[in-house]
């Protein structure tokens, strides 16, 4: 991956005592496989991530989510931590394999009881539970039957959504169907750096469509079961794509990646159609005949808000010798997650996180303005934003992480600036509550506001957790230099 020497000007510093709207949601987020552990407890069966992580060579250091942070047994402690942070909402995902082990048939009540108890405890503390139905952990039985490239998986997902809504609909008002379906489709079935580890570009495109279809079917299932006041959403990792230069070939490279990263989902979900340039770019791979009559209408369901995950911008150019044509920060593979797009990826100069991702809050601001322009009536929620750094416990028993505080300050300032400029952003969820299993990177990357000592499970709130607690409680971004 080459380094970009030309950098877009950063967002101006608006961090001096910025006040957010009074009803702004301050939350934190996790995902089931990354934190729960208890991989075989109470009837849970393997998901694709259990299989993938147990396959030699797939995950750094051979790490698995078998124990993770043991949230399944320590959830009461974690709820107390959230209460101490003063957050008003907690976004978590259900483990499909824990709720419906084979992806078919009746629910397992012990699995549902875990989530019932968790949501009850959250509500007792005044924390709104925000449930994500799918955060990448497809039951292995469904993958064995073909997985997301097969249409039937969307039907199974709708059944699962119905089970979850019936069990938790009296407690949970806010629901998300899918988290980052781009990762599920293109990293899972294209580059193979995520579960299930397949490397078939056509399967990746089929998976993207059937994830879209699953989303639409699940929204309908939720609406059929939930009270009228319940909210339905989807969370997308909208890539803020920048062309390296204004040259026509670089601009076209950015267009191609925007189609594959963003419009493959926003098109059918929010407009009821796939973009024509995407279909043309991939015509050499597939004729898209897997899109059947009625699919687009079923996918295009009214949503109460769009969840937006942002970490870093994506800078691309036309393919050049010596530049990375496939690696884009998501994991190294000989296979590209970008079917039909041969482009080069570039890293902006400046500071980076432990993931090697550029720290650039201006990308979040620009992205939010783009979404307002494209979908002016759609409320937005920042459902993930955060950073991994090489955190450690100092001799005083503390975890001091000024880099993360600076990252959060910059990105919250960008959100505030977007709100000031007319973007309807309703809330912000810090990723993540806890250090956890970071997918193909295992336990080598720490995103949490709370440090986890993995051998003992001990939780240690970092300096950034205390800082974020002050922001969440006051609804105000403090002056730079105040607090931790």
β-bridge pairing 343-348 and 314-318 = antiparallel
Cβ–Cβ < 8 Å for 387, 311: yes
Catalytic-residue membership of 143: no
Cβ–Cβ < 8 Å for 433, 122: no
Give dist(CA 209, CA 215) in Å, integer: 10
Residue whose entry in the numeric block shows the structure tokens 């250091």: 61
Partners of 453 in the β-ladder: 458
Residue 30: name the closest of 173, 170, 166, 137 by CA.
137
Residue 334: name the closest of 199, 154, 233 by CA.
199
Cβ–Cβ < 8 Å for 300, 375: no
Cβ–Cβ < 8 Å for 138, 96: yes
444-447 long-range contacts (CB < 8 A, ≥24 apart) are: 444/60, 444/61, 444/63, 445/354, 445/355, 445/388, 446/354, 446/388, 446/389, 446/390, 446/391, 447/386, 447/387, 447/388
Catalytic-residue membership of 150: no
Give dist(CA 404, CA 391) in Å, integer: 10
Instruction: Select which of 128, 150, 298, 384 is catalytic.
Output: 384
| DSSP assignment of 374-397 | H-TT--EEEEEE---B-----TTS
Query: What 3 state SS string does 163-195 have?
Result: HHHHHHCCCCCEEEEEECHHHHHHHHHHHCCCC
Cβ–Cβ < 8 Å for 243, 317: yes
Instruction: Select which of 180, 298, 403, 438 is catalytic.
Output: 180
| DSSP assignment of 44-97 | ---BHHHHHHTSTTSSGGG--SSSTT-HHHHHHHHHHHHHHHT-SEEEEE--HH
Active site residues: 180, 384
């Amino acid at each position: 991956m080459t380094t970009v020497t030309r950098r877009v000007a950063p967002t101006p510093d608006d961090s001096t005592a910025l006040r957010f709207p009074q009803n702004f949601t301050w939350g934190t987020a996790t995902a089931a496989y990354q934190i729960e552990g208890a991989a075989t407890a109470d009837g849970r069966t393997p998901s694709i991530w259990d299989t993938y992580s147990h396959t030699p060579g797939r995950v750094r250091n051979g790490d698995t989510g078998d124990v993770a942070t043991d949230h399944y047994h320590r959830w009461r402690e974690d709820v107390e931590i959230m209460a101490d942070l003063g957050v008003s909402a907690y976004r978590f995902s259900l483990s499909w394999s824990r709720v419906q082990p084979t992806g078919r048939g009746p629910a397992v009540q012990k699995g549902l009881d875990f989530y019932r108890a968790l949501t009850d405890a959250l509500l007792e503390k005044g924390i709104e539970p925000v449930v994500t139905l799918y955060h990448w952990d497809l039951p292995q039985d469904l993958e064995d039957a073909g997985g997301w490239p097969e249409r039937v998986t969307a039907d199974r997902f709708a059944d699962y959504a119905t089970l979850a809504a019936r069990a938790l609909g009296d407690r949970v008002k806010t629901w998300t169907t899918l988290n980052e379906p781009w990762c599920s489709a293109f990293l899972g079935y294209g580059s193979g750096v995520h579960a299930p580890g397949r490397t078939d570009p056509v399967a990746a495109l089929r998976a993207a469509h059937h994830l879209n279809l699953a989303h639409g079917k699940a929204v309908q299932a939720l609406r059929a079961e939930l009270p009228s006041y319940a909210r339905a959403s989807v969370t997308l990792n909208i890539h803020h794509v920048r062309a390296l230069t204004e040259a026509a070939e670089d601009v076209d490279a950015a267009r191609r990646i925007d189609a594959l990263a963003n419009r493959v989902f926003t098109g059918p979900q929010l407009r009821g159609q796939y973009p024509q340039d995407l279909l043309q770019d991939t015509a050499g791979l597939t004729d898209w005949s897997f899109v059947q009559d009625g699919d687009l209408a079923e996918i295009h369901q009214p949503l109460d808000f769009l969840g937006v995950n942002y970490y870093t911008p994506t800078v691309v150019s036309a393919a050049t010798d010596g530049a990375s044509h496939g690696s884009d920060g998501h994991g190294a593979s000989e296979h590209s997650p970008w079917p039909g797009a041969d482009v080069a990826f570039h890293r902006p100069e400046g500071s980076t996180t432990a993931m090697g991702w550029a720290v650039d809050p201006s990308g979040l601001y620009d992205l939010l303005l783009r979404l307002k322009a494209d979908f002016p009536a759609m409320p937005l929620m920042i459902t993930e934003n955060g950073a991994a750094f090489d955190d450690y416990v100092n001799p005083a028993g503390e975890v001091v992480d000024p880099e993360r505080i600076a990252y959060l300050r910059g990105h919250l300032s960008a959100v505030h600036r977007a709100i000031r400029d007319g973007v309807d952003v309703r809330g912000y969820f810090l990723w993540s509550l806890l250090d956890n299993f970071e997918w193909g990177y295992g336990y080598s990357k720490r995103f949490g506001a709370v440090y986890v000592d993995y051998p003992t499970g001990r939780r240690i709130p970092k300096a950034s957790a205390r800082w974020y607690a002050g922001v969440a409680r006051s609804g105000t971004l403090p002056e730079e230099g105040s607090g931790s």
